[in-house]
Amino acid sequence: MTKRLTLLCLLAGMLALAPAVWAQGQSGTLEITGVPADVPAGRYDRQAGVFSADVSAIEGALVHVTFEEVKIVGQTMEWRTDDDYLIFTGGATLTKEDFTVTGDTLEYFGKEKKLHAVGSVVVVTDDATVYANELVYDEETDEAVFTGQVKVVFDDGVLEGEKFVMFLEKSELQFFGAFQGTFETD
């Protein structure tokens, strides 16, 4: 089980670090698809340094943000270029290689180097699926904090609690408050 959790930690770490790539000046793309030519897709306020897009009313239309191997797909987003803040609302999915993060809201704070997912958060990896109400990853402290009805589902067991912290480099897990686990044994 320790091995599985370590893998989960590493994957989550890669996931959380990924948005910083845009801020570091690497190549990335934002693409809005499925929008008829006469329908507004987004607005760029250059003075405020804000690009916003809302295609939720257009069937089949999506906003894709890609940097390196990370892809975020949603329908409503705002990007504040000055402080490198990106937010997807109304549901979004972040994908990198073999894992995904889904949440009602996904935010990346470039200056603070934090990733924030809120509402029906689901992190899926090859080894486990983590459910929570909220996920905050802080690049500085290297902490990924899952809170609110946290549930970690493995092939052979389930862990449930209210707060679950992963210290990525140390591959350390902390469970706060009451936590209960159920595992199948050979």
Partner 1 sequence: MNLSTKAKWIAAGTVAVAVLLFITFRYAAQPPPPAVSVPPSVQLQESRLVGRKDGQRQWEILSRSVLQEGDVVTLRELEEMVVFQDEEPYLTIQAPEAEWERKTELLRLFGPVLVEGEEGFRLESDYLEWQGRSSKLLSPGPVQMLWRGMEISADTMTMDTEGEIVFLQGNVEIRDGGLVWKLEEAVYDLDAESMDFYGNVVLEGEAGSD
Footprint on this chain of partner 1 (rule: CB under 8 A): 22-23, 25-47, 51, 53, 67, 81, 84
Return the number of the residue (82 or 98) whose C-beta is nearest partner 1: 82
Return the number of the residue (25 or 155) whose C-beta is nearest partner 1: 25
Return the number of the residue (37 or 178) whose C-beta is nearest partner 1: 37
Looking at residue 34, what DSSP letter applies? Answer: S
CB of 8 to partner 1, least distance (A): 30
Separation between Cα atoms, residue 106 and residue 92, nearest integer Å: 7
CB of 37 to partner 1, least distance (A): 4
Return the number of the residue (41 or 153) whose C-beta is nearest partner 1: 41
CB of 173 to partner 1, least distance (A): 35
- Distances from the Cα of 128 to the Cα of 4, 39, 125, angstroms: 8, 41, 5
| CB burial readout 77-91, b (16+ within 10 A) else e | bbbbbeebbbbbbeb
Q: Which residues contact 41 (CB under 8 A, 6 or more apart)?
A: 32, 35, 53, 55, 61
Under a CB-based contact definition with an 8 Å cutoff, are residues 141 and 124 in contact? no
Return the number of the residue (26 or 174) whose C-beta is nearest partner 1: 26
Separation between Cα atoms, residue 65 and residue 18, nearest integer Å: 12
CB of 73 to partner 1, least distance (A): 14
Separation between Cα atoms, residue 15 and residue 116, nearest integer Å: 12
Under a CB-based contact definition with an 8 Å cutoff, are residues 178 and 162 in contact? yes
CB of 83 to partner 1, least distance (A): 11
